Chains A and B, each alone.
Chain A
Amino acid sequence: MSNSTLLVPDRKFVEQIVAAGGGDLKKCYQCATCSVVCELAPGDRPFPRKEMIWAQWGLKDRLVADPDVWLCHQCNDCSLRCPRGARPGDVLAAIRQQAVRHFAVPKFLGRWVNSGKLQAPLMALTAALLALALIVRDPIEGALNFGEPHGFYAELFPHWLLIGFFAFFTLLAFLAAVVGIVRLWRSMKQTDGLYGSAVPPVGVVKSLVRAIVSIFVHDRFAKCSSRRSRRITHLTAFYGFMALYIVTIWAVLDLYVLPSFGVASVYPFDLAHPMKVLANVGGLLLVFGCTKAILDRLRDPNDAQTTTAFDWMFVWLLLGVGVTGFVIEILRFAIDPAVESAMVSVAYAIYFVHLVLVFQLLVYLPYSKFAHLLYRTTAMVYAEHTGRTNGARPPARLTERSLPKPETPAALEGSAADN
Chain B
Amino acid sequence: MDKKTAVYICRGCEIGESLDIEELCELATGDCEADLCRDHECLCGDAGLELIKGDIREGANALVVAACSPRFKTDEFAFDECVSERVNLREFVVWSHEPNDEDTQMLAADYLRIGIARAKRTEIPEPFDEDIDKTILVVGGGVTGMAAAVEAAGAGYDVVLVEKEPQLGGFAGKCGWRFPLNPPYRELEPVDLSGRIAEVQGNERITVHTGTTIEEIKGQPGQFDVSVKANGSGSEFRVGAIVQATGWKPYDASRLGHLGYGSSPDVITNVEMEELIAAGAITRPSDGKPARRIAFIQCAGSRDENHLPYCSAVCCRVTIKQAMVARKFDSEAEAYVLYKDIRAPGQYEEFYQTAQDDPGIFFTKAEVVGVEKAGDSLQVEAENTLLGERIRIEADLVVLATGLVPAAADGEGIRQLTDAKAIIEKGEAGAQLQAAKVTFEELKHLDGTEILNLDYRQGPDLPVLKYEFPDSHFICFPYETRRTGIYAAGCVRAPNDSLVCMEDGAGAALKAVQSVELASQGTAVHPRWGDMSYPDFFMQRCTQCKRCTEECPFGTLNEDEKGTPLLNTTRCRRCGICLGCCPERIISFKDYSVEIISQMIKSVDIPDEFEEKPRLLGLLCENDAYPALDVAGLKRIQHSAFIRFIPVRCLGSINTVWVADALSRGFDGILLVGCKSGDDYQCHFIRGSELMSTRSDNIREKLKQLALEEERVRLEQLAISDFDKLPQIINEFAEQIDEIGLNPFKGF
B155 within 8 A of A: no
Chain A-chain B contacts (Cβ-Cβ < 8 Å), number? 61
Name the CB-closest residue of A to B390: A4
Q: Which chain A residues border B383 with CB–CB below 8 Å?
A: 4
Which A residues from 42 to 80 make CB contacts under 8 A with B? 45, 50, 53-54, 56-58
Segment at the A interface, from B240-248, B358-366, B407-415? B358-366
A18 within 8 A of B: yes
Which B residues from 384 to 401 make CB contacts under 8 A with A? 386-394
Q: Which of A4, A8, A14 contacts B359 (CB 8 A)?
A: A14
Q: Is the CB of A5 within 8 A of B394?
A: no
Q: Is the CB of B392 within 8 A of A1?
A: yes
How would residues 194 to 222 of chain A score, 1 for a CB under 8 Å from any chain B CB and 0 otherwise? 00000000000000000000000000000
Which B residues from 368 to 427 make CB contacts under 8 A with A? 370, 372, 374, 379, 381, 383, 386-394
The answer for the CA separation of A29 and B387 in the assembled complex, in Å, is 12
Distance in Å: Cβ of A86 to nearest Cβ of chain B = 9
How would residues 1 to 45 of chain A score, 1 for a CB under 8 Å from any chain B CB and 0 otherwise? 101111111010011001000000011011000000000000001
Q: Is the CB of A6 within 8 A of B394?
A: yes
The answer for the CA separation of A54 and B356 in the assembled complex, in Å, is 14
Residues A18 and B390 in contact in the complex (CB < 8 Å), given A4-B381, A9-B334: no
Chain B's interface size range is 20 to 34
Q: Is the interface of B mostly helix, strand, loop or mixed?
A: strand
The answer for the CA separation of A53 and B336 in the assembled complex, in Å, is 13
B728 within 8 A of A: no
Distance in Å: Cβ of B373 to nearest Cβ of chain A = 11
Distance in Å: Cβ of B363 to nearest Cβ of chain A = 7
For chain A, the count of residues having a C-beta within 8 Å of the partner chain is 23
Q: Is the CB of B356 within 8 A of A27?
A: yes
Distance in Å: Cβ of B519 to nearest Cβ of chain A = 52
The answer for the CA separation of A386 and B393 in the assembled complex, in Å, is 31
Q: Which chain A residues border B363 with CB–CB below 8 Å?
A: 56
Q: Is the CB of B392 within 8 A of A6?
A: yes
Distance in Å: Cβ of A265 to nearest Cβ of chain B = 59
Q: Is the CB of B388 within 8 A of A50?
A: yes
Q: Is the interface of A mostly helix, strand, loop or mixed?
A: mixed
Q: Is the CB of B379 within 8 A of A1?
A: yes
Q: Which of A1, A11, A15, A56 contacts B381 (CB 8 A)?
A: A1
Q: Which chain B residues border A4 with CB–CB below 8 Å?
A: 381, 383, 389-392
Q: Is the CB of B390 within 8 A of A11?
A: no
Q: Which chain A residues border B356 with CB–CB below 8 Å?
A: 26-27, 29
Q: Is the CB of A9 within 8 A of B336?
A: yes
B357 within 8 A of A: yes
The answer for the CA separation of A6 and B387 in the assembled complex, in Å, is 12
Q: Is the CB of A53 within 8 A of B391?
A: no
B434 within 8 A of A: no
The answer for the CA separation of A11 and B323 in the assembled complex, in Å, is 14
The answer for the CA separation of A15 and B364 in the assembled complex, in Å, is 18
Distance in Å: Cβ of B328 to nearest Cβ of chain A = 15
Q: Which chain A residues border B336 with CB–CB below 8 Å?
A: 9
Q: Is the CB of B357 within 8 A of A27?
A: yes
Q: Is the CB of B392 within 8 A of A11?
A: no
Name the CB-closest residue of B to A45: B388
Q: Is the CB of A27 within 8 A of B381?
A: no
Q: Is the CB of A5 within 8 A of B392?
A: yes
Q: Is the CB of B353 within 8 A of A27?
A: yes
The answer for the CA separation of A267 and B334 in the assembled complex, in Å, is 64
Q: Which chain B residues border A29 with CB–CB below 8 Å?
A: 356
Q: Is the CB of B393 within 8 A of A7?
A: yes
Residues A5 and B379 in contact in the complex (CB < 8 Å), given A27-B356, A57-B364: no
Q: Which chain B residues border A5 with CB–CB below 8 Å?
A: 389-392
Q: Which of A3, A26, A50, A57 contacts B357 (CB 8 A)?
A: A26
Which A residues from 303 to 339 make CB contacts under 8 A with B? none
Distance in Å: Cβ of A373 to nearest Cβ of chain B = 31
Q: Is the CB of B389 within 8 A of A1?
A: no
Q: Which chain A residues border B334 with CB–CB below 8 Å?
A: 9, 11
The answer for the CA separation of A357 and B280 in the assembled complex, in Å, is 56
Q: Is the CB of A7 within 8 A of B386?
A: no
Distance in Å: Cβ of B145 to nearest Cβ of chain A = 37
Q: Is the CB of B359 within 8 A of A18?
A: yes
Distance in Å: Cβ of B396 to nearest Cβ of chain A = 13
The answer for the CA separation of A5 and B391 in the assembled complex, in Å, is 5
Q: Is the CB of B387 within 8 A of A53?
A: yes
Which B residues from 648 to 683 make CB contacts under 8 A with A? none
Name the CB-closest residue of A to B389: A5
Q: Which chain A residues border B362 with CB–CB below 8 Å?
A: 9, 56-58
Distance in Å: Cβ of B170 to nearest Cβ of chain A = 33
- Select the residue from B358, B383, B392 with max chain A CB neighbours within 10 A: B392
Q: Which chain B residues border A9 with CB–CB below 8 Å?
A: 334, 336, 362, 393
Distance in Å: Cβ of B398 to nearest Cβ of chain A = 15
Q: Which chain A residues border B358 with CB–CB below 8 Å?
A: 26
The answer for the CA separation of A7 and B379 in the assembled complex, in Å, is 10
Which B residues from 276 to 290 make CB contacts under 8 A with A? none
The answer for the CA separation of A376 and B180 in the assembled complex, in Å, is 46
Name the CB-closest residue of B to A24: B357
Q: Is the CB of A53 within 8 A of B381?
A: no
Binding site for B on A (CB under 8 A): 1, 3-9, 11, 14-15, 18, 26-27, 29-30, 45, 50, 53-54, 56-58
11 contacts between A and B (CB under 8 A): A1-B379, A4-B383, A4-B391, A5-B390, A7-B392, A8-B394, A11-B359, A15-B359, A26-B357, A50-B387, A56-B363
Q: Which 4 A-B pairs have the closest CB atoms?
A: A4-B390, A14-B359, A6-B392, A30-B386
Known contacts A5-B390, A6-B394, A50-B388; can you find 15 more A-B pairs with CB under 8 A? A1-B372, A4-B381, A5-B392, A6-B379, A6-B393, A7-B391, A7-B392, A9-B334, A11-B334, A15-B359, A26-B357, A27-B357, A45-B388, A53-B386, A57-B387
